[in-house]
Each structure stands twice: as structure tokens, then as C-alpha cells.
Chain A
Amino acid sequence: MKALNIAYYTILRNFRDYKTLLLMLALPIMLIATMGSALGSVFTPGDMSVTTICYLDEDKGFMSQSFEEFLESEEISKMMQYKTAASKEEAFELIKDGRAVALIVLPANLSEDIQKGGKASIEVYNSKYSSFRESIVQSTINGFVNGTNAQLVLRQMGAVSQEYEMFDNIEETAVTAEGNAPRAIDYYAVTMLVMTIMYGTGYGNFAMKEEKRLNTSIRLASAPVNYLEVVLGKLAGSVVSVFLQGMVIIAFTKLVFNVNWGGSLGLIIFVCFSASLMSVGLGMMVSNLGKNPQATGGLLNLGVSITTFLAGGYFPSSQMGPAMEKLGHISPNYLAQQAMFNTIYGGSTAQTTNLIITIWAIVIAAFIIAGLTERRSAN
């Protein structure tokens, strides 16, 4: 109960601190708006065609024909280029070199299996670390598969002409794919949201040290409150403050910039919450490891700019070569960004789960270290 009281007043004070609030809300929204339009060309469909995928056709049936048509359709070809590969080995080389982002394989007998109504699947191979671009590929393929599935159901029900259906289905998929193609503003809304959440390390950094600076730690220590309750209250207040700021950014960008946050808003919100915990936890940890909160605060701010940059927050790292892109994967921002991109653009669910689990592992580690290093002292 007393922890809730502490949490509530912590939030109240964070939201009354207009200077910080302005920095936490207005700045990212401004960045989203300016980078979203100024750097817009980075993401125009024309430029997206730089994304190259490999395509290996072992099927050579009607499915390969329709898949090629799908890839060559106007909407898809704006986003992706494909190279036909002779073998998986060749394709993997290309992916390793960064000349292609994924390999799509239509396995042998695919068309036959589909016709028989058995289980059939298109294989997608990503590089070990998938990026924003790969979620686009994944989502495009998903679109195709979904369309095919729908069409198969129709066919099994003995519905209309096969040829016509197939065509219709591709059209439909293409429309979905286009709806999915992210604009620059969609990209920056995600990266800047994650950046804002990561700046929440500042709240973690100051949570306990601020009480010392204000001398209120004396009152807290002399009141009949458990120290653990105080820490939990400060922690909860900080996490909720960061999280609410994230929610404001999502709502604002959705309503004002019409940013695409995808269909699973619940999952996006959960990722936001997990990232808020991670950010505050990391902030508390660094704060406890250092002595001077001003110094650790500066360090954290610098750290967040670096992790944001590495994760491609200011400029898509996929444009900076595969080495930079891989380096970006060590950034905590990447975890949250990629989880959101996957969620919005229908990327791999397994990867999203892994990303979220990694975030929580960091949360737990940060809190354990912060707990072990928390010094209970008034001065």
C-alpha cells in the first residue's frame, strides 16, 4: 500500500517536471515528424527494391509459376528484387555477404502436395539475425501463403475457376503487401519510441539518488516504511512513467501521423512495458555501480544515443553494410525495435518470442545487480 503511494507520487512528480517531460515527449515526436519526411526517400518503394532476396525453385510446378508472378507483380517488385539461385549453398553465400537478405525455397513437390491437399510449406531462410528488412520479406511471403491458403480452402469447397482464383488471390496479397510497406515515418515512430523508452534509464538512475538529493530520504528512513517498499514504489513509479510516455507517443503518432502500429497493439504495448522495465532496471544498475548520479546520468544519456544509433534508430543500419547491421544487434534498442517490427509487419513469431525473452533476461539480470549494489544509506 505504501509502495503504491510512493509510486503514485513519483509518477505525479515525473509528469510535473515539464522540462524533462518535454524532452521525453516533444523531442521524439519532432524527430519522428522530421526524419519521417526528410529522410523519406530512404523508404520509398523504389528504394526498397534494393532489398534483394534469393529464390530457389525446386518445385517447378504451378506454385512456382504463381509465386514468380507474385514476386514480379508491380507492388511486390517495388519492394523486393529476386535472384534465382541454383542451390542453397549459393544462396547462403549471397546472404552471408549481405547481397541478399533471405532465401525463399519452393521445395520439390510443393504443387503436388498442395493439389493433394496435404501439408505443404514455403521455406524462408533468414540470416541468423534478422532485421527490419527481413520482417518485410517474411511478411510478404506470409501474405502470399495466406492468400494461397484461402484459395486452397475455396478450391476444396469446389469453388470457382482455378486460374481466376489464383489471379485474384495474388492481387489481394499484393494489396496487403503494399499496405504493409513501411514509410519512413512508420520506421522512425518505432525507433524513436524505443529511444524514448531507453531514455527512461534516467528515471532509474535518479530514482533513489534523487531522494538523497532532496533530503527526503531522511523522512523516508525515519517513517515506518520498509526500505524494500520504498525501492519498489520508486521503481514502479519510474517504470509506469516511462511506459505512459511510450503510450503517449504511440497514440499521438497513430492519430496525428497515421503511423502503422499493426494489428496486434496488445503485443506492441507489452513490448513497450517490457522495454520500460529493462530501461529503468539498467538505469538503476548503472546508478548503483557508479557514485555520482550526475556522472552516471551523463553516461546513460550518451549510452542511449549510441545504442539508438547502433540499432539503426537515426538511420537504418541495413544501409550501413552487414557489419554495422550485426553490430547493431548488441543494442538493447534492437531487441525492442525488432520485436515491434516483427509484430507490425508479420515477422517470425518465434523470433519475437526470443526477443521478448531476451529483454526479460536483461530485466532480471539488471534488477539482481541493482539489488545487490543498492546501498542503504541516508547520506
Chain B
Amino acid sequence: MVVEIKDLVKRYGDFLAVDNISLSIDDGEIFGLLGPNGAGKTTAINCMIGMQKQDKGQIKLFGQDFTGREGSIKKEIGIVPQDLALYWDLTCYENVSFFAKLYGLKDGLLRSRVQEALEFTGLWDRRKDLAKKLSGGMKRRLNIACAIVHQPKLIIMDEPTVGIDPQSRNHILQSVKELNKKGSTIIYTSHYMEEVEELCSRIAIMDHGKLIAKGTKEELKAFITVEEKTEFELSSVNYTITDTVKQVSGVKDCVVDGSRLTVISEKNSRNLSKIIDCISAAEADILSMNIEKPTLETVFLTLTGRTLRD
């Protein structure tokens, strides 16, 4: 077991940021930590790596208690912070090299590891450029290079793909898989369901500081296979539609998001024509319609009644 968390509680004043969560992560996993803004993901991670003191609960990394063994445990962890953590006036090479030295790397090993990390993130050609001169995607990749240069056993990535182009994003997703193949256990935090679905073997979903579900993708989806999700893109949405749709037999929930209407029904309710009747009764045109197979997004929606991103 690489990570074992038991009854973790973290408060900021009166605010409960992490509310009694327990989870364990196995060696070699890519573990997804999913949740909307403010769910408490970063706070949980900070407690995990000893950056913040929890109010309650136990955390074991590599089967050991953190206190007293900080040095040896920290050596095995690499953290990719959610917000870029780079020295803008240093070059890519200097940034990676600086952090590598904090892990005791030196001389030949230092040089080869720094080169490896920069090549791995596709920044070797840009090694002499100042960090501030990089594009957004490259900065994200440098943020990763600084975290993996010491080849940690556990890599914690806190939303490593926020705000970048699809190409850089793909590059990063591929890198995560490769790092995992090379033997690192990975904790991957995101609010992009697709990423987590593509990468992770097991997933925990957080909301308002609580762990609301955890398991493999299949387990989570099985959780809602009793449901069907239908999405309509409408010319106009008014709230009488949701009221009437909710009365249709088999409908469990109905959510409006802009011009989109999402309806969740029990499986095999065969109520689609009735739902469409409600919509046309409200004199709205259906611009498009999509009957979805369950995804993690549906899981989240079912569990919280909200979408992951507002």
C-alpha cells in the first residue's frame, strides 16, 4: 500500500475543507481524485505530503507514519502543484537542476537525470530558455519535469492540465501513462472526467470535503447502470419544462444548464416520447438530442445533482 488515509479531517477555522475521508492507494495504480472546485482535493493532498497538519486522522505513506521519517518518505514523493511552481528568471535546465539538487542528486547522475526529465517532457531543446519565455503548455510540462527528476515512487499531480491546449494535454496524458509504466504510483487530480476515465484504474470522487464515492470505473458506473441519461439542446428553456418533465413516469431528475436539459430516468422507462411531449408543450424546439451511456460525469451528476464544472 503506497498511501493509506484514515478519517482525515482538515478545517480552516470553522470551515470543514476535508470531512473525514479514508482511502488507500495501491502500488502501481493511477488513482484519480475527482471533484469540482473547492471540493478539498488540494487540501487533502497537502495533508498527505505533510504540508498542512490535519486536525484529525492518520496518514501512512509507504506503510510508514510521516512523523519522524519525513526525510526518507519525502525522497520518494514528487509533487506537481496545481499552480505553476517555477522560478521565472531561471532557465528550464536551472529550474529542474535546482529541485533535483534538493533531493541530493549531484554530478553525473544529476546531469543525466535532469536531461532525462527534460527530454521526457519534451523540453530538452528549450533547456536554455528562461521559464517565463515558455508557452502555457510548456510551463505545465516544466512544472512536471521539476517533480519527476528524482524519479519518485509516488507522483502526485494536482490538475496538471489546467488551462492548456489539447496537444500539450495529450502529451501530458501520455507522459502520465508512461511514468506509471516505469513503475511510479500516481495520484491524479482533475475535474475533467474524460482524463480521469482515460487514465485511472481507481477513482475517488470528492464533493464539499466528503468522499462521496470510490471504486474502479466499472464499479462506479455499475452504481448508476440503473439509470439512463438523455440530453436535449433546446431553443429555449423555461422552468415549467423541468417541472413537467419531472412528473413523467420513470424520471428521477432533470437539470437545466444553459440551453441544455439533462434528464435522468430509471433504466428501461421508455419515457422518451413523453419527455419530448413535455418539451413541445412548452413550445421549445429540440435542436439536438443525445442518449448517453453512463460516464463518470453521470456518476457525479447522479451523486450530487450538479455537473463537475459550472
Q: Is A220 an interface residue (CB 8 A)?
A: yes
Which of chain A's residues have a CB closer than 8 A to the CB of B86?
Answer: 214, 216
Contact (Cβ within 8 A) B102 A223: yes
Q: Does B81 reach chain A (CB closer than 8 Å)?
A: yes
Contact B90 A9 (CB under 8 A): yes
A214 to B139, CA, bound (A): 13
- Tell me if A219 is interfacial: C-beta within 8 Å of chain B: yes
- Nearest to A16 among chain B residues (CB) is B89
Tell me which residues across on chain B come within 8 A of A13, comparing CB atoms: 87, 89-90
Q: How far is the CA of A223 from the CA of B73 in the complex (A)?
A: 9
**B-chain residues with CB within 8 Å of residue A378 when the two chains form the complex:** 46, 51-52
Q: Which residues of chain A have C-beta atoms less than 8 A from B79's C-beta?
A: 218-219, 222
- Among B50, B72, B74, B147, which residue has the most Cβ atoms of chain A within 10 A? B74
Q: Quick one: CB contact mask for B72-108 with A, threshold 8 Å, 1 for yes? A: 1011010101011111111000100011011110000
A223: which of B46, B83, B103 is its contact (CB, 8 Å)? Answer: B103
Main secondary structure of the interface of A (DSSP, over half): helix
B52 and A5 form a contact (CB under 8 A): no
Name B147's closest neighbour in chain A (CB-CB). Answer: A219
Which residues of the other chain, A, contact B94 by a CB distance below 8 angstroms?
9, 12
Question: Could you tell me the distance in whole angstroms from the C-beta of A166 to the nearest C-beta in chain B?
Answer: 64
The residue in chain B whose Cβ has the minimal distance to the Cβ of A225 is B102
Closest Cβ of chain B: how far from A230's Cβ, in Å?
A: 9
Cβ contact within 8 Å between A224 and B102: yes
- Chain A nearest CB: distance from B210 CB in Å? 22
Is A215's CB within 8 Å of the partner chain B? yes
For window 204-231 of chain A, which residues contact chain B by CB distance below 8 Å? 214-225
Q: Across the interface, do B70 and A224 meet the contact criterion of CB distance under 8 Å?
A: yes
Number of interface residues of B (CB under 8 A): 31
Q: Which residue of A lies closest to B106 (CB)?
A: A1
A219 to B84, CA, bound (A): 10
Whether B13 sits at the interface, judged by CB under 8 Å, is no
Look across to chain A and name the residue whose beta carbon is closest to the beta carbon of B75: A224
Query: A215 and B85: CB pair below 8 A?
Result: yes
How far apart sit A91 and B14, CA to CA, in the bound complex (Å)? 71
Give the Cβ gap from B157 to chain A, nearest Cβ, in Å.
Answer: 13
Q: Which residue in A5, A9, A379 is a CB contact (below 8 Å) of B87?
A: A9
Listed in ascending order, the chain B residues whose CB lies under 8 Å from chain A are 46, 49-52, 70-72, 74-75, 77, 79, 81, 83-90, 94, 98-99, 101-104, 130, 146-147
The smallest beta-carbon distance between B299 and chain A, in angstroms, is 30
User: Is the Cβ of B74 less than 8 Å from the Cβ of A222?
Assistant: yes
| Chain B positions within 8 Å of A222 at CB level | 49-51, 74, 77, 79
Q: A215-B85, A219-B102, A219-B146 are in contact. List 9 more A-B contacts (CB 8 A).
A: A5-B102, A12-B90, A214-B88, A216-B87, A217-B85, A219-B85, A222-B79, A224-B70, A224-B75
A379 contact set on B, CB distance < 8 A: 52
Establish whether residues B74 and A224, one from each chain, have CB atoms under 8 Å apart when the complex forms.
yes
B253 to chain A, nearest CB (A): 37
| Contact assessment for B75 and A9 in the assembled complex, using a CB-CB cutoff below 8 Å | no
Known: A12-B90, A219-B99. A214 touches B85 (CB 8 A): yes
Residues 292-330 of chain A: 1 if any B CB is under 8 Å from the residue's CB, otherwise 0?
000000000000000000000000000000000000000
Closest to A14 in B: B89
**Interface residue A2 (Cβ < 8 Å from any Cβ of B):** yes
Residues from chain B with a CB closer than 8 A to the CB of A17 are: 89
For B104, the chain A residues whose CB sits under 8 A away are 2, 224
* 29 A-B pairs in the complex with CB atoms less than 8 angstroms apart: A2-B101, A2-B104, A5-B98, A5-B102, A9-B90, A9-B98, A12-B89, A12-B94, A13-B89, A16-B89, A215-B83, A215-B85, A216-B85, A218-B51, A219-B81, A219-B102, A221-B49, A221-B51, A222-B50, A222-B77, A222-B79, A223-B99, A223-B103, A224-B74, A224-B75, A224-B104, A378-B46, A378-B51, A379-B52
Please report the C-alpha to C-alpha distance between residue A222 and residue B187 in the assembled complex, in whole angstroms: 15
Residues from 118 to 177 in A contacting B, C-beta threshold 8 Å: none
Closest 3 CB pairs of A and B: A215-B85, A223-B102, A224-B74
A5 to B104, CA, bound (A): 10
What's the nearest-Cβ distance from chain A to residue B82, in Å?
9
Query: A5 contacts B101, CB within 8 Å?
Result: yes
